[in-house]
């Protein structure tokens, strides 16, 4: 019985670790068409820097490191570069 409980705990821990990644796969941002996402990227990259004590500047490099989908969209868009 103890062995079964340990196995179940390990399985529970593994599932708990994977859950955030699996939830991110169904996030609404992933359903945006590339054209809309590209508009958001363009606005973010062109946003003027405000002197507020921190640097909110977003670069294309920041965007391509978010996820695979964003990387593909950004790298396929020459106007961002």
* Domain ranges within the chain, ordered by starting residue: 1-27, 32-81
Instruction: Write out the DSSP string of 35-69.
Output: HHHHHHHHHHHHPPPP-SSS-----HHHHHTT-HH
Position 52 scores a pLDDT of 55
**Tens-binned pLDDT, residue by residue, of the chain (81 aa):** 999 999 999 999 999 999 988 888 888 888 899 999 999 998 888 776 665 555 667 788 999 998 888 999 999 988 887
Identify the H or E element spanning 10.
helix 2-25
Q: Residue 65, Cβ neighbours under 10 Å: how many? A: 11
Contact yes or no for 74/44 (Cβ under 8 A) = no
């Amino acid at each position: 019985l103890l062995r079964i409980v340990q196995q179940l705990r390990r399985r529970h821990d593994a599932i708990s670790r994977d859950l955030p990644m699996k939830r991110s796969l169904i996030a609404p941002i992933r359903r945006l068409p590339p054209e809309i996402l590209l508009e958001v990227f363009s606005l973010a990259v062109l946003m003027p820097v405000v002197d507020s004590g921190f640097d909110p500047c977003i670069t294309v490099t920041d965007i391509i490191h978010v996820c695979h989908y964003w990387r593909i969209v950004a790298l396929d868009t020459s106007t961002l570069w």
